[in-house]
Structure 1
Amino acid sequence: MDAGSGKLLKVIRDKMQELIPMQDKLSPVTEKQEEAFTKQIFYPLLSAVLEQLETMFPDSDFLEHYTVFDRSFWPEDCGGIVDYHGQEDIKALADHLPFTHAEEAVEEWTVLKQVAVLATCKKSPYSLMIKLLETSLVQGYPNLSKIASVGLIIPVSRADCERGFSTLNRVKTELRGSLLANNLNSLLAVTMEGKTPEDFDFNKVCMSWASLKNRQINVNK
């Protein structure tokens, strides 16, 4: 978190203390308090978040193209307008991503629009993109599936990156500087996303590791 963000959070905390006195924190929120919260805290915080996103992702046009997956923005007309809707956005996304083919992606998009209503009942960009990651649709729309997978993992903050660097500093110490990349990635994944020690089955893991090959010492040789 940079200095500007820290200062903003301090201002927000101070405002919250002013709006909700200690004796009223357990009382129902009044309409006046709710209005003051919206104007003095919610809107400034929302503006700050949007500003951070624009700073972190200066290529805003790239993110805007992903709105094409939001069915609520699709035209209601089933004629010529809907046939061409989104083609420029899909082409722009495919051109931006080196592992997709723009012409094939546009062709896939033309077909997908006809079955989008049947594929998902929610007019949400996430529901349509998640559907594109299902096995049956991945095979039929390989380029759109890749585009959707990128859209679903775009971070909205630097917290995950900073968490990853902090974990890396804890795992790869000076005494473990010779760790191979694969082993280091596995350790980071277990540390960050693995189960807690209370829920982890150590016996099962030890038995699995021991069964990989014969680890007994042959004393007869």
Structure 2
Amino acid sequence: MRCDSDLKFKSLYAAAKEMADKLDINLAPPRNIGIQKNRDNYEGGPEEYFRRSIFHPFLDHLLMQLKIRFLEHRELLSKIQNILPTKCSELNTKEISETVNTFAKEWPIDIKGSTDDFIAEMTMWHRHCLNMSKDKRPRTFIETLNYCNSALYPSIHTFLQIGATLPVSVATSERSFSCLRRLKTYLRNKTGEERLNGLMLLNLYRDVEVTCEEVIDIMAKKPRRIDLVL
């Protein structure tokens, strides 16, 4: 889209000019100034001005946001999938090094030891995956996590836990927003933060059983002058 931006803008500008003519609006650029402090002076007519001052900056910002939102996360997810036996068995030395460098940049605290130690651990894991038969290699993070020995491969075991717990959607957050709308009514508008969070958790996780004894024990631990002894 950035390569064909001039052609796209011509059609957009023609449609905008047609609408402006119907509304008696003059598409004129602002006047040029001698001292440039807040904006640049663009040479050319109105079409050139709007193309260089509005369309191209907006398009560059949009493409940058799409890249940050999708491409970088996709690269990270592809790297973390390299520790799965089905993927790790197909890696070469260069790809192993790139995977380790990505982990060292994104999660440096989770690496047990130095980067060289993790490269050696990744190489051992690669050989271990090659020795597995293809039909018995785990394909998911949960299956690999149950198969991986945390004593022999501590860093890989940690990254398997990260891969198994990475969120794949925003359904939980959207559920919490809808739950908040049900709880934050006019009568409960002054509900405290702690109580509101508790009500939301009770509403979301209805399958968790909360007994009266547990509630009484928690209330009895608070510094009050009331004896809650039954």
User: TM-score normalised to the size of structure 2?
Assistant: 0.47
Between Structure 1 and Structure 2, which shows a larger proportion of helix residues? Answer: 1
